[in-house]
Amino acid sequence: MNYLRSRSLKRLLSIGRRSNPDDDCVVEAEPPPPPPAPSKPAWRCFSYEEVDQATNGFHPDNVVGRGGYGEVYCGILADGRAVAVKRLAAAPADEKKEKDFLTELGTVGHVRHPNVSSLLGCCVDRGLHLVFDFSTRGSVSANLHDEKRPVMTWSQRHGVAVGTARGLRYLHKGYARRIIHRDIKASNILLDADYQPQISDFGLARWLPSEWTHHAIAPIEGTFGCLAPEYFTHGIVDEKTDVFAFGVFLLELISGRKPVDGSHMSLLAWAKPYLKDGVAQGLVDPRLGDAGYDAGQLRRLMFVASLCARSAAAWRPTMTEVLELLESAEISQERWQMPEEVVEEEFWDFDDLTDFEDDDDEDNYDDESDSPSIPSSACSIHAND
């Protein structure tokens, strides 16, 4: 027993003991149980022949998505199961992409939640491949912005908002480890046949130890228009990083506009005046029509979006609080009232990037000039899909 530290030995011997009036010694109460260990991954390794056959030899007609990482193919396994095969782009000695691949495998391979994409397995023969359940309806982005698809109904959008919030809450609080996604956006939220959302693409995700308040990361990565200010300026990452991006995602669901449109004006900058004045009709997607949405739900989503998109991370709600706001019968706006001295900073936006060095707090939400360039040496940001 000499290999046990004295403190560990004392804790070990104290387990199960109960106080007794005849006992001369005082026994401390049992320590709280440790958090549940991460579940064992349920995925398996596929052979190259299996994924090659499923995707018809990675035929171009089977491509359902593209990105900086590579391509996603739809396919059918031998047992008839529909899958999506994510193939890493062939690039010699690309350690960054391999790291993202391993990060996604190590993260999504352990999580289990209805609103988080389910990993079936991987293949490391002739390249790197991830195999997922196929999401029948594609991404939220495709459903919102593809003119060939039917307009998403308000009921579908509201369900996507609540389901995505549940998935994020699970990643932040419901799993054995804290998972920060770092790239919450419409193209990374997939929809099944019933329009139930599933959070996908964990290539940028990070574990956050329970004893850490935040994590400092360099270089900065993510999607322009969705990055929280403390992350963009200082590389600080915690749960509130995802909360900010979720706020932008809510605005996209409400308005049907992309995070950055053709005029280079960010969605948050465009939405600022409507959120400040509470003008719901100006913010909602005109394709829904005047009677195509629930006014109460709309105002609730607007209120939650305004809280999530606050510039100060400390004043944003947690995802647990977001769910309460979305699902509770009543909302106490007084609880979320900010001090007057910080109210003007409540709707920080990327149009203010040029003011960082000058520490200028002037509101520029009417400025429709080109977005400032970002040095590639400072960060790596991919355009919104």
Please give the annotated binding residues for ATP, written as ranges. 86
Is 261 a known active-site residue? no
Q: Which residues are annotated as a binding site?
A: 86
DSSP of 263-316, one letter per residue? TS-BHHHHHHHHHHHT-HHHHS-GGG-TTSS-HHHHHHHHHHHHHHT-SSGGGS
Largest CA distance in the chain: 81
Q: What residue has token string 């960082």? A: 356
Structure tokens belonging to residue 144: 């919102």
Q: Measuring CA to CA, how many Å separate 313 from each of 259, 310, 348?
A: 20, 7, 11
| Residue 180 burial by Cβ neighbours in a 10 Å radius (0-12, 13-18, 19+) | buried
**Which residues does residue 207 pair with via DSSP β-bridges, in sequence order?**
179
Catalytic residue of the set 52, 100, 183, 201: 183
Structure tokens belonging to residue 108: 């999504």
Q: Which residues contact 293 (CB under 8 A, 6 or more apart)?
A: 154, 284
For the annotated catalytic residues, the residue numbers are 183
